[in-house]
Amino acid sequence: MRLLKLVPDNTNIDFLRWRNVAFAISSLLIAASIAVLAVKGLNFGVDFAGGQMIRVTFQEPPRLDELRERIGALGHGEASVQESRSGPIEIGGAGAGGHEILIRMPLPEGGEEGANQAASEVRATLTQGYPGARVDAVETVSGKVSEELVRAGALALLFAMIGVSIYIWFRFEWQFGVGALFSLFHDVTITLGFFALTQMEFDLNVVAALLTLIGYSLNDTIVIYDRIRENLRKFRRMDMRALINLSVNETLSRTIATNLSMLLALGALFLIGPDVIFSFTAALLISVFIGTYSTMYIAAPWLIWLKVTSDSFLPRDPASRASQGPRNETHDGARV
């Protein structure tokens, strides 16, 4: 049997040749993301904005403006009414033929009582005006809770970025930690920018996806860093740029194979998976691309800029030598 080979043996692509161009593009993207975030902001879901979200399935596609008017007439503030997702692919079963609509309302006045009343009035309007309409989910989040969730989400992202970077610093060298931190910052900012630009709903699930992104994007980074470290020990005199290129090329088929299987798994979830986690899978999908890119063009070039040399990995104390013992042995044999 002939096996699939995604990358021919002994590829030698000069990836780092475009590092300055890539750096410029990335900087632009980051700046643009921050600008979009500042101007448009994120389309916070009820988790973070507070308020009420009602998910309804209609038998017939309702006229959105009419629905909006009817709900607005209840006097609970301006409601946002939108289709659950754009360009869906539906497959058979209970969900098919249904038209999912998301109704979002600001936090009603009068706290708990007000929220109850608003929800039941909307329910009544829906069942009267649209026979067969089915309320699938109601979420009410008070301003207090939503503020806490925003804070917790931001802290979690921050701690995750710093935490894993520190770990990389311990396992490799400080330059690697800095490179990882920059590439994570890059990934998270651009993903946030994407969410601000598309105004896709940003909820708790997306924060979960971002945290996963941090773990996943780093996965790539670590594989290449690991190879760079190995090559640094092997080829003492090789120029750093050539060495990084070599490492990226050596791990290229792994990069492609892993990301391809990731795309297959996530793509299925994105296209036919449940609506409720649409933004979540979207964020993860983006992360597959951005994570790979940032590893090559952000995480790795920083090693050049921070002047990593093979001396960085000379064993300095017996303890580290002992833990690295078996590795050195194998390299002795392979040293060129």
Partner 1 sequence: MLDFPRWKIWLVTLTLVVGVYYAVPSFLPERVTQAMPAWLAPQVNLGLDLAGGSQLLLEAETSGVARQRLENMEDVLRRDMRGNGIRIAEVSTSGGALSFLVREPGQVQEATRLARNLAQPTAFGGAREWDLQIEGNRIVMSQTEAGLNEAIDQAMEVARDVIDRRINALGTLEPTIIRQGSTRIVVQVPGMQDPESLKQLIGRTARLEFKLVDLNATPDQLQSGRAPAGSQILPYPEAGEGGRIAVQRRAIISGDMIADARQAFDPQDGRPVVTITFDGTGSQRFASVTSQNVGRPFAIILDNIVISAPNINEPIIGGSAQISGGFTVETANQLAISLRSGRLPVDLTVIEERTVGPELGADSIRLGAISMAIGSVLVLIFMFLTYGRFGLYADTAILLNVALILAIMAIMNASLTLPGIAGFVLTVGAAVDANVIINERIREEQRRGRNVIAAVEHGYKEAQSAIFDANITNVIAGCLLFYFGSGPVRGFAVVLMIGIVTSVFTAVTVTRMFVSLWLRRKRPKELVI
Which residues, 272 to 291, sit near partner 1 by CB under 8 A? 272-277, 280-281, 284
Token readout for 103 is: 């109704």
Q: Using CB under 8 A, which of the segments 153-161, 189-197, 232-240, 304-312 binds partner 1?
A: 153-161
Q: Using CB under 8 A, which of the segments 14-22, 23-31, 131-139, 312-320 binds partner 1?
A: 131-139
By the rule CB under 8 A, 13 interacts with partner 1 = no
Q: CA angle, 101 as apex, 150 and 70 as ends, to 5°?
A: 100
CB 286 within 8 A of CB 159: no
Nearer to partner 1 (CB atom), residue 22 or residue 146: 146
What single-letter amino acid sits at 97?
A: G
Length of the chain: 336
Element (H, E) at 48: helix 46-49
Q: Kindly tell me which residue out of 12, 20, 27, 116 binds partner 1, with binding defined by CB under 8 A.
A: 116
- How far apart are CB 27 and partner 1 at their closest, in Å? 25
Q: Using CB under 8 A, which of the segments 18-26, 87-95, 185-193, 311-319 binds partner 1?
A: 87-95
Q: Using CB under 8 A, which of the segments 37-45, 70-78, 134-142, 303-311 binds partner 1?
A: 134-142
By the rule CB under 8 A, 118 interacts with partner 1 = no
SS3 42: coil
Please state, in angstroms and rounded to a whole number, the distance separating the CA atoms of residues 288 and 195.
16
Please state, in angstroms and rounded to a whole number, the distance separating the CA atoms of residues 46 and 232.
50
Number of residues that bind partner 1 (CB under 8 A): 86
Residues in contact with partner 1, shown as a per-residue x/- string from 196 to 235 under the rule CB under 8 A:
--------xx-xx--xx-xxx-xx--xx--xx--x-----
By the rule CB under 8 A, 131 interacts with partner 1 = no
CB 60 within 8 A of CB 101: no
By the rule CB under 8 A, 327 interacts with partner 1 = yes
Q: Kindly tell me which residue out of 73, 137, 314, 322 binds partner 1, with binding defined by CB under 8 A.
A: 137
Q: Kindly tell me which residue out of 258, 306, 312, 313 binds partner 1, with binding defined by CB under 8 A.
A: 258
Helices 252-272 and 240-250: crossing angle, nearest 10°?
Answer: 50
Token readout for 285 is: 């999908």
Nearer to partner 1 (CB atom), residue 156 or residue 304: 156
Q: Using CB under 8 A, which of the segments 64-72, 240-248, 252-260, 304-312 binds partner 1?
A: 252-260
DSSP codes, 92-108:
SSTTTT-EEEEEEEPPP
Place of tokens 């309302």: 105
Q: Kindly tell me which residue out of 39, 65, 75, 264 binds partner 1, with binding defined by CB under 8 A.
A: 264
Please state, in angstroms and rounded to a whole number, the distance separating the CA atoms of residues 96 and 39.
37
Closest by alpha carbon to 12, among 237, 296, 245, 257?
245
